[in-house]
Amino acid sequence: MSGKKRFRQAVVIVHGMGEQRPLDMLNRFIDAAIPGPTVIDEKQDLPVYYSRPAPESESYEAKSYLARETSKYPQTEFFEYHWSHMMQGNKLSDIWDTFQRILFTPIWNVPSGLRVVWLAFWALILWVLWYIADGTLAWDSLSVEKIISLIAGGGVLAGLLSWAMTKFLPGKITASFVDVVRYLDTSPRSYSVRKNIRRGMIEFLESLHTSGRYDRIIVVAHSLGAYVAYDGISYLWTKMNQDHVLPLEDGQQDHHETKIDPEVLVRFESEAAELLKDDNRDPKAYRDLQRELWAAHRAAGNPWLITDFVTAGTPMCMAEKLLTKNEDEFRVRQKRRDIASCPPLPDLPGAKKKGLFSYPYKGGDVLYHAAPFAIVRWSNMWFPAHLGFFGDWFGGPLARLFGAGIQDHPLNGNDWKRFLPAWAHTLYFTYPDDESDGSATKVLHDFMEIDPQAWWPNAARGEVGENSDEQGDNGDQ
């Protein structure tokens, strides 16, 4: 392969809630993420990937895994962004406001995975009220005054019980559920924690961009990690916004000698407009154009490398209750461009306004600051909570809140463990050998497209990446 540039891509996994140890998630994830056998020489037990230092991370615990090029994918480096050590000082009482808000939400607005818990809690409240009343209540003896007093008493009792639960339950629970609420909390106590986690994610992604080693980056996130990764992608896009210029003139060529299609942005914005008008429209055409638009930006020499954002079992499906107080407030923040969506909402009109998401800049078109998911494809999977209980309580569809350009995929494969209440939330990367239709591993492979030959200009092997290593890592391959 002398004289050829090797294609190299990076995959970043962002772990979810809980006091997780460095590399725990990466070690669980990598076998599921790599298609095919993970050993290339059974006699020598030689794996297709090996550990190396990760200078892109400031953590002394950090390592990456370099997966050798095979017939199924190009050379790929796997990283973990580890953030749980920054989430210190959690108290279960931190979830008081959110818990109370969900408790007093009508059941049809409660996230499906929590409805059985919601019902059980209210059943306990009603039973306690009945017990206090000594079981003497009867429908024919109820008066308006009694009904009002019961409702008021139930509300007070619900508040007292939820406060007691958040105050006195064992501290082990704080290691997980409080992380979600606290990361999204706007109080001064949580501000520095959230800022440090976000900054670490942004700086890590930025270091991968500026290292000069990679031609593509894929971000995969589990649970609360999806919020962390989403923030990292959104803020980094804003930071690099004026680098996203797509030249107006036809004929500019990249290192593939591939011409830029001057109409790709026009076609993309047209399809996005149709998707914004019809939430039930199949997102495939939009997602195909995302690939094309990303390739056009790379051909123009733009530095943005992230092609895919894959989320698994994320409580982002409850964002209107966790990130804001209700869906109305959530939609207002979207309209103000505080919350990036897929497809993006149209840019606000102005003197320089040209396209749906773009404006003229330096002789070209540039996508505006709230449009990272114009070129980053967002895919989402989860184990559904059947009957509102049997499955992942915290995962769910995202297109409803974040936009119809997201490919949602409920997982109906794998074994009986996916029905385990709440525990199913931990199982997304535990079936590396199950590549049957509907399994978490098969869907992960489909979403990541770890071998990009099907859509990459001039294929994704051999002479493609001007920033890739000539001889691989330390002379490998």
Q: What percentage of the chain reaches a pLDDT higher than 70? A: 65
* 156 domain-assigned: no
The whole-model pTM stands at: 0.82
As a whole number, mean pLDDT of residues 285-302 equals: 91
Q: State residue 421's pLDDT score.
A: 85
Confidence of residue 98 (pLDDT cuts 50, 70, 90): low
Three state DSSP letters for 162-220: HHHHHHHCCHHHHHCHHHHHHHHCCCHHHHHHHHHHHHHHHHHHHHHHHCCCCCEEEEE
394: left (phi over 0), alpha (psi -120 to 50) or beta: alpha
* 150 domain-assigned: no
> Which DSSP state fits 430?
S
* 145 domain-assigned: no
* 202 domain-assigned: yes
- With 70 as the cut, is the pLDDT of residue 351 above it? no
- With 70 as the cut, is the pLDDT of residue 176 above it? no
Q: How far is CA 435 from the centre of its chain?
A: 22
**What distance in Å separates the CA atoms of residue 183 and residue 229, rounded to the nearest whole number?**
12
**pLDDT by residue (tens digit) across 317-338?**
989 888 888 899 999 999 999 9
- With 50 as the cut, is the pLDDT of residue 469 above it? no
Residues in Cβ contact with 384 at an 8 Å cutoff, skipping those fewer than 6 apart:
112, 391, 392, 396, 410, 411, 412
Q: State residue 193's pLDDT score.
A: 80
Confidence of residue 173 (pLDDT cuts 50, 70, 90): very low
Q: What percentage of the chain reaches a pLDDT higher than 90? A: 38
Specify the range with the lowest mean pLDDT, choosing from 70-79, 234-243, 254-263, 296-305: 254-263
**pLDDT by residue (tens digit) across 392-431?**
988 999 999 999 999 999 999 999 999 988 889 999 999 9
Q: State residue 145's pLDDT score.
A: 54
Specify the range with the lowest mean pLDDT, choosing from 31-35, 86-90, 182-186, 383-387: 86-90
* 129 domain-assigned: no
Mean of the per-residue pLDDT values for the chain? 78
* 228 domain-assigned: yes
What's the domain range around 290? 183-440
Q: State residue 111's pLDDT score.
A: 66
Element containing residue 295 per DSSP (H, E): helix 284-299
Q: How many domains does the chain have?
A: 1
CB 245 within 8 A of CB 359: no
**pLDDT by residue (tens digit) across 147-172?**
455 555 545 555 555 545 545 444 44
* 287 domain-assigned: yes
**pLDDT by residue (tens digit) across 207-252?**
999 999 999 999 999 998 999 999 999 999 999 987 777 775 544 4
* 356 domain-assigned: yes
- With 90 as the cut, is the pLDDT of residue 375 above it? yes
Of 421 and 373, more confident:
373
As a whole number, mean pLDDT of residues 94-117 equals: 66
